[in-house]
């Protein structure tokens, strides 16, 4: 028989805060984490808007060898993972003596790569990169470093699925546990926030240029949206089999009910409705839940004119007539890209924990597509028993997760 898969630990390090409570407070207040970064303007960015995340100083927590290989995003992921492991009650003794895996979404480590190339160009000597560069530069920088720091002995690799990476990491982890291949997995997503990371993304005109109003620039589903705002940090979701959680006496925070995935099979940057509908339907079918029992939809909606439109059409097709509440937390966080699919599960879990729906801030006027949705523009106090979270990425990769409050 398949295993039930539950969530026992959460961690977050984002532009909305660096603890679960702080982030829950920001979500309830509808607080934006977006700023104007003058350095980007000097670098020739079309848009200097970004989520603001401070790089953590880990000198007091990790020794030199543990720190030198950490890229910016791996530092964020370390902090969120430490929080999540603490919440899950998995200490070093447990991790050393059990087979716990790690699957993280990450799709770049641009700053580390660029800084290394700068040194090579200047010094014409690769030894002078030092020993940390390789471990910071690889796409698997997060899983490589964290598996070493936390002595993890289970599955260990990084999932690169563009802006759906974090969501796929939880989805793939869910399948491995469901089918009995792993007992517990540290899942999550990480995203660097430095200016090197987003130059090419800015270059294709994807970002909002509403620079005079940074906190009002991300406006998913709003008629006047003009692009996304890059952001990042680290988010961790620890999942394990119900049997494992019960045996450990862990506090069960929620249950993963379904994971849907699909590929659009069309354009590299433009989404389509068909792929998203297939992903949503697959997740719903797997969950065994009727769409009318879904209390909240956390949309992928990034504030781009085209992307939000397709998602609104996909959601309205499946949830037609149900008036299901929808919001995009990217209105506050910006687009946390490789991390977003995991961070948004953390945000939703906080909503479920604290009984509210976070607002889709800056939503003033719908367009033709978004007028079909019940978009929550102001914080709504309400119990959430189950939610659905979408993540879509370049190349047409789609991921949908459905989580429910745990019941015996």
Binding site for another protein (CB under 8 A): 63-65, 68, 123, 125, 127-132
Q: Where are the alpha helices (DSSP H) in 138-196?
A: 141-149, 165-178
CB of 133 to another protein, least distance (A): 9
Catalytic annotation on 337? no
Give which of 355, 369, 371, 225 is closest to 296, Cα–Cα: 355
Q: Please list the helix, strand and coil fractions of the chain in percent, rounded to the nearest 5, in that order.
A: 40, 20, 35
The residue from 140, 168, 187, 300 that is catalytic is 300
DSSP 108-123: --HHHHHHHHHHHHHH
Helix (H, G, I), strand (E, B) or coil at 356: strand
CB of 63 to another protein, least distance (A): 7
A 10 A CB-CB count for 270 gives 13
Taking the complex as a whole, the smallest distance from the CB of residue 148 to another protein amounts, in Å, to 12
Q: Which of 163, 187, 337, 348 is catalytic?
A: 163
Q: Which is nearer to another protein, 122 or 212 (CB)?
A: 122
Closest to 133 measured CA to CA, from 118, 115, 145, 151? 115
For another protein, the closer CB: 64 or 121? 64
Least separation in angstroms between CB 33 and another protein: 33
Known catalytic residue at 300: yes
Q: Of the two residues 125 and 290, which places its CB atom closer to another protein in the complex?
A: 125
Question: What number of other Cβ atoms are within 10 A of residue 127's Cβ?
Answer: 7
133 vs 165, beta carbon nearer another protein = 133
Strands of 61-124 (E only): list them.
100-105
Give the active site residue among 15, 140, 168, 335. Answer: 335
| Shortest Å distance, C-beta 113 to another protein | 18
Select 63 or 385, whichever has its Cβ closest to another protein. 63
Closest CA to 219 of 297, 296, 305: 305
Establish whether 187 is a catalytic residue. Answer: no
CA distance 314 to 396: 14
Task: Find the radius of gyration of the CA atoms of the chain.
Answer: 20
Complex with another protein: residue 128 or 383, whichever CB lies closer: 128
Q: How far apart are CA 389 and CA 371, in angstroms?
A: 20
Structure tokens at 35: 């700023």
Taking the complex as a whole, the smallest distance from the CB of residue 66 to another protein amounts, in Å, to 11
Q: Which residues are catalytic?
A: 163, 300, 335
């Amino acid at each position: 028989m398949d295993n039930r898969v539950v969530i026992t630990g959460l961690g977050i390090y984002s532009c909305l805060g660096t603890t679960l409570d702080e982030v829950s407070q920001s979500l309830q207040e509808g607080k934006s984490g977006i700023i104007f970064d003058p350095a980007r303007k000097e670098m020739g960015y079309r848009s200097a808007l970004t989520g603001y995340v401070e790089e953590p100083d880990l000198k007091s927590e990790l020794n030199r060898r543990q720190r030198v290989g950490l890229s910016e995003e791996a530092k964020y992921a370390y902090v969120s993972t430490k929080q999540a492991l603490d919440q899950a009650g998995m200490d070093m003794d447990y991790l050393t003596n059990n087979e716990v895996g790690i699957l993280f979404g990450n799709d770049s480590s641009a700053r580390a790569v660029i800084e290394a190339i700068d040194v090579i160009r200047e010094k014409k000597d690769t030894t002078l990169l030092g020993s940390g560069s390789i471990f910071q530069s690889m796409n698997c920088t997060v899983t490589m470093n964290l598996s070493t720091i936390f002595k993890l002995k289970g599955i260990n690799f990084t999932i690169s699925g563009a802006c759906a990476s974090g969501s796929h990491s939880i989805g793939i982890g869910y399948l491995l546990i469901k089918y009995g291949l792993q007992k517990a997995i540290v899942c999550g997503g990480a995203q660097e926030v430095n200016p090197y990371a987003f130059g090419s993304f800015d270059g294709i005109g994807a970002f909002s240029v509403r620079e005079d109003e940074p906190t009002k620039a991300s406006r998913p589903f709003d008629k006047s949206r003009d692009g996304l705002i890059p952001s990042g940090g680290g988010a961790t979701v620890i999942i394990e089999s119900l049997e494992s959680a019960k045996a450990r006496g862990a506090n069960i925070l929620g249950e993963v009910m379904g994971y849907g995935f699909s590929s659009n099979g069309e354009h590299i940057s433009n989404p389509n409705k068909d792929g998203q509908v297939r992903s949503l339907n697959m997740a719903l079918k797997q969950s065994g839940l009727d769409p009318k029992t879904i209390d909240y939809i956390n949309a992928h909606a990034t504030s781009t004119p085209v992307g939000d439109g397709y998602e609104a059409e996909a959601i309205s097709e499946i949830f037609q007539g149900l008036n299901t509440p929808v919001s995009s937390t990217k209105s506050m966080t910006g687009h946390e890209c490789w991390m977003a699919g995991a961070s948004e599960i953390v945000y939703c879990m906080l909503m479920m924990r604290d009984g509210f729906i976070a607002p889709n801030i800056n939503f003033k006027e719908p367009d033709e597509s978004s007028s079909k949705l019940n978009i929550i523009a102001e914080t709504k106090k309400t119990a959430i028993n189950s939610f659905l979270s979408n993540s879509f990425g370049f190349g047409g990769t789609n991921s949908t997760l459905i989580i429910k409050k745990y019941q015996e």
